[in-house]
A and B are shown apart, each in its own frame.
Chain A
Amino acid sequence: MLLEARNVTIRFGGLVAVNHADVSVQPGRITGLIGPNGAGKTTFFNCISGVYKIDEGEVVFAGRRIDGLRGFQINEAGISRTYQVINLFRKMNVLDNVMVGMHSRLRQSFWASLFHSPGQRSEERTALAKARDMLKFVGLERKAGYPAGNLSYGEQRLLEIVRGLASDPQLILLDEPAAGMNSGEKAQLDVLLKRILGTGVTILMIEHDMKLMMGVADYIYVLNYGSILAHGEPAEIQRNPDVITAYLGGD
């Protein structure tokens, strides 16, 4: 397992937002996390990515405990993420957004960067070339100089994914990547997710678009009222009566 969340619990006051959740992510696959609104999916992401400190349980990533680490340390450990509400550096241009994403992979000293030492210049060149390649990966290379805030909604989603990939993560957490995309962009997202997988990055993703989710996910977890209601392959999940009830609200 690449990521093992065991017994993860977080409470806000009296509310148990995530309740003893066990989620395992196998490397090289797309794992999906679905559930009705307010089920605690994003909260679960926040527990893994270090935004919240969990009250109980543990999170093991690539054999190492990562719960309790801070957000930037978890990124350094090899997990990056996107947000449900897009969080780009809106006033920076597209290329700079990707460069910031590379932050944790570029290690040179403050003084070297201030005085533009030869070592730093060559690193800078390599980084720039890599950033441009990554933009090409999602077809944004022609927008490199635009302020990120000027991109269309779908393009901003793509840029956020690229920025997440820029730190060479082993695992990327995608929080509703298709939200706000038009149908054309959604169709391409399907292909993009497979291509990301092809570069050796494992995906854990929240998505409301069931057609997309059932099409790309290898394994799915269903979260309801903070607890794992069911997990299994897409076909099993679609047949599961508990899941159908939770979604349709019948009893």
Chain B
Amino acid sequence: MTRKKTLLMAALAAAALIVIYLFLVNHAPIKLRRLALTGVMLGCIYGLIALGYSLIYKASGLMSFVQGDIMTIGAFLGLTFFTFFRGLFGTGEEGESNVGTFILSVLLTTAFAFLFGILLEKGTIRKLLNKNVMAIYVVLATIAISYIIQNGAQIIWGGIPLPVPSVFTVLFVQVIGVRIQPEMVLCVILSAGCMIMLHFFMTRTRMGTSLRAAAMDAKAAEACGIDVSLSTGLTWGMAAGLAAIAGILVGPIYGVYTMLGANIGRKGFSAAVIGGYGNMYGAMLGGIILGLAETFVAGYASSTLKNLIAYILLIAFLFIKPTGIFNERAIQDV
């Protein structure tokens, strides 16, 4: 995409956001505003997960079911770090600000997940691929690993959802006239930050460019002096890092439990398809569309339908627009 076109699209998106904002503030009922905010927050989480799916698909041509469980691990690990650092630095009093310790926990958790992602690729995926195992078996292996992690987490942390201590001193903030948890705002800001950083990393840095090159054409990249095996490992690491961030961000809002990531992770596939499977920007947009669709269905139709909408959208997109919003290649060459 040319620079001009990118700027134009950014401007259009900004204009659309301002119009939506003005509409919500001036005309929308409070319920709609609340649903919109929750939808965007949830959408950011789906987006982070789907972003990981896209990275993995581009780098390895595979899908990984472990993504959601890395999110669970991220949530538990984040909670563990957060509790530990609160005990270390904090006074433990009610209502103290823990923003610093929370950010520290986010960074540490992400680093751990990053390593986990690299190990997952190097230790299992790459090993299987080197044995010339067919892609379908590698995908099955990720399903197996996913269940191992789910049940392992169950053994370690038990089945009861754990509450996460609040990060901020205030319990509520006012956004477009709606009182919401400040952690929701943090979630949106940090998710958006991740996406923007990923965008600049992938397009502006030499390392990002070589990751894209390795994903586009492994043979050519290798001939250009790029260590494709390392690039692929790093990409899985980044995908894992994003999932863990999603986990730790969602913790203070939903609590932490062993099926947290599995549920959200599965719906993340839908977000990836809506945006165009394999497209970074599509993943984010798809996530937000899915988040909004879910909360609106829950708010205006019924909350039992809420968990169906992701899969209905997935099938609908496969039939009507398999290339997703960003027109990723979806039809096999024949």
A:73-100 near B, CB below 8 Å: 75-76, 80-81, 83, 87-92, 96, 99-100
Contact, CB under 8 Å: B225 / A104: yes
Q: Known contacts A83-B220, A87-B220, A114-B205; decide if A92 and B212 are in contact (CB<8 Å).
A: yes
CB of B96, distance to nearest CB on chain A (Å): 33
Q: Is A31 an interface residue, CB under 8 A from the partner?
A: no
Q: Please state if A83 and B225 are interface contacts (CB–CB under 8 Å).
A: no
A101: which of B200, B216, B224 is its contact (CB, 8 Å)?
B224
Distance of A70 Cα from B226 Cα, bound (Å): 10
In the complex the two chains form, is A110's CB within 8 Å of B2's CB? no
Query: A72 near B220 (CB under 8 angstroms)?
Result: no
Known contacts A72-B222, A75-B224, A81-B223; A106 and B216 CB within 8 A of each other: no
Residues from chain A with a CB closer than 8 A to the CB of B217 are 87-90
Q: Using a Cβ–Cβ cut-off of 8 Å, how many residues does chain A contribute to the interface with B?
A: 35
A residues near B2, Cβ cutoff 8 Å: 145
Q: Which residues does chain A contribute within 8 Å of B219, judged by CB atoms?
A: 51, 83, 87
Contacts of B229 in A (CB 8 A): 70
Distance in angstroms between the alpha carbons of A69 and B168 in the assembled complex = 54
- Report the minimum CB–CB distance from A22 to chain B (whole Å): 24
Q: Mark B203-225, 1 if CB is under 8 A from A, else 0.
A: 01111011011001101111111
Asked if A157 is an interface residue, CB under 8 A from chain B, the answer is no
Scoring B residues 225 to 241 as 1 if CB is less than 8 Å from chain A, else 0, what string do you get? Answer: 11111000000000000
Residues of B within 8 A of A50 (CB): 222
A202 interfacial by beta-carbon distance below 8 Å? no
CB of B201 closer than 8 Å to a CB of A: yes
Find out whether the CB atom of B223 lies under 8 angstroms from the CB atom of A100: no
Would you give the shortest CB distance from B132 to chain A, in whole angstroms?
13
B205 near A167 with CB under 8 A, answer no
Is A113 within 8 A of B206, CB to CB?
yes
Question: Given the complex of chains A and B, what is the CA–CA distance between A166 and B225 in angstroms?
Answer: 11
Contact: B216 with A113, CB < 8 Å?
A: no
Of A49, A92, A113, the contact of B223 (CB 8 Å cutoff): A49
Residue picked from A49, A100, A104, A166, most chain B C-beta under 10 Å: A100
Q: Are B206 and A108 in contact (CB under 8 A)?
A: yes
Q: Which residues of A contact B (CB under 8 A)?
A: 49-51, 70-72, 75-76, 80-81, 83, 87-92, 96, 99-101, 103-106, 108, 110, 113-114, 116, 145, 163-164, 166-167
User: Could you write out 18 A-B pairs with CB less than 8 Å apart?
Assistant: A49-B223, A70-B227, A71-B223, A72-B228, A75-B222, A75-B224, A80-B224, A81-B223, A89-B221, A92-B209, A92-B212, A92-B216, A100-B224, A103-B224, A103-B226, A104-B225, A105-B225, A108-B206
3 nearest interchain CB pairs? A104-B225, A71-B222, A87-B220
List residues of B whose CB falls within 8 A of some A CB.
2, 200-201, 204-207, 209-210, 212-213, 216-217, 219-229
